[in-house]
Amino acid sequence: MSQTATMTTSADSSVLIVGGGVFGTSTAFHLASRGYKSVTVIDRFDAPSKDSAGCDLNKVIRADYTNPVYAQLGQEAMKEWKDPKSLFAGLYRESGWIMSGHDLTRDWLETSRQLSEKIGRKGVKYMSADEIKQQWPVFTGDFPGWTNLYSPAAGWVPAGQALLRMANAARKLGVKYIFGDAGHATKLIYDADGTCTAVVTADGTTRKADVILLASGANTASLVEAKEEIVANSSAIMVFKLEPHEIEKYRDIPIVDDFEQAIIFPPDENGLIKLCSCRNITNFKNKTVPGSSITHSMGDYPYDGCPKEIEEEIRSFVREMIPELADRPLYHSKLCWDGVASDLNFRICPYPKTKNLFIGTVGSNHGFKFLPVIGKYVADMLEGKLGQEYLELWKWKYGKVPKDHKDPHPWPARELSELSGWAERHAPGRRELPWTWSRL
C-alpha cells in the first residue's frame, strides 16, 4: 500500500468510522457483511445524517463519465439500484438524464459521449431544443445556447430514503451508531510515533479503536490538515411544491442537468421538485478552522438556506426551459455541503505520515450514486487488497491536479460570506424533507 500504511485490517479489528454519510454508511455495511464484529459509526446526527450530502430529496444515478473507472463503477452500482432483490429495491426511477453544456462544458459532453459509445451504452445522443420539446411537451422554453446530450439509462433515487435504508441494514448486522455530542468528533489523539489511537467527541469521551476511518466529508479539514486536498463546497438547493393536479403533468420529465447553471428533477410522490445549483459555494471564512473550507453545519445553522443571488440564477435556468415554473414560491431551500477534491476524485487511502488513520470520503459532488458499492472498495483498502488502478486514482495528492483534468462544473466558486439572503431564511422544514428526519 502506498503512502503510510499499518497492519492489515481483519474481521477481528475494531473499526471506528467518523461520519455517517454515504461513504461511512456503505463502509460500515460492507465491513459488517464481511463478518466484522466491532464496527462503530459516530456522527453528530442520527441516520440519515442531516450534514451528509446524501441526506437529500433525490440524487442522479448514472454511469455517464469521461473516466472509464467511474463509468465501470457506475455500471456496477446501477445493477444494485435496479436489482429487485437488492437492499435498494423499488427506489430507482429511470427518468433519463439530459446533460447540457455551454462554452465551458461542451468538450466534457463530447468526451462523455465518446466513452459511452466505446463501452456500448445505448441511446446516448445529442438532442436539439425542438427534439426535447417534441418528446416532452411540458418543456416550452427556448433553451438558448444549450447543447444537450441525452442518456436514457439514467435516473434518480430518493436519496435520504436510500441512506436511511442502508444505515438500518448495517444496524441489523451489528453496527453500532453513536450520535449527538457523543458522536460529534472534535479531535484525534496520536501517540508518540504518530499512530492515531482515538477520537475525542464533544461530550469529552475518548473513543479508541484498532482502525480509525475518516468518512467525514465536508468536515474533514476540521480534524486533519487537508485545506489543499479537501474543500467543502455547497450546492444550494431549492424546492418547489406542485399542486396535486400538476404532479401528473410533470411526472415523466427527465432530469435536466445544465453543468453551468443548475439541475431540475422530476417531482417526487409528494409533488416536490428539487432544483440544485451547479455553481458552488465555499466556506473558508468560517469560525472554526479559518483558511480551510468546512461544512456550514445544520446543527449550528438550522434555518439557513439558498442565497438570493443563486435563487435568481436557478429561476433563470428554469425560465429557459419551463418558464411557467420559474416564479413559483419557494417551498424550502438548504445548503448541501460535500467534501470536494481539486481533481474531483474520491480519497480512499491512508492519511499521510500517520499510522492507523485512513480516509474514505470526498464524494466531490458525485459520490452518492455509488452508495451500494463504494464501501466494498473502502473495505478492500483497509484490508490491503484494493486494486492498483484505484490506489492510484484515490490516493492523497496534496492538492495536485492532472494537466488533462476536466471539471464538468467549472463555474468559479463563490464564498458564502460574500453572498446574501441565506442566513436564517427558513423555519424548520416539513417532514417530506429528509434533512428533518434525524432525531438530532
- pLDDT tens per residue across all 440 residues of the chain: 445 545 578 999 999 999 999 999 999 999 999 999 999 999 999 999 999 999 999 999 999 999 999 999 999 999 999 999 999 999 999 999 999 999 999 999 999 999 999 999 999 999 999 999 999 999 999 999 999 999 999 999 999 999 999 999 999 999 999 999 999 999 999 999 999 999 999 999 999 999 999 999 999 999 999 999 999 999 999 999 999 999 999 999 999 999 999 999 999 999 999 999 999 999 999 999 989 999 999 999 999 999 999 999 999 999 999 999 999 999 999 999 999 999 999 999 999 999 999 999 999 999 999 999 999 999 999 999 999 999 999 999 999 988 878 888 999 999 999 999 999 998 777 788 998 888 66
Residue 343 zone, left/alpha/beta (φ > 0; ψ -120 to 50; rest): alpha
Contacts of 116 by beta carbon, 8 Å cutoff, 6+ apart: 64, 71, 124, 151
What's the Rg (C-alpha) of the chain? 21
Asked if 334 contacts 237 with a C-beta cutoff of 8 angstroms, the reply is: yes
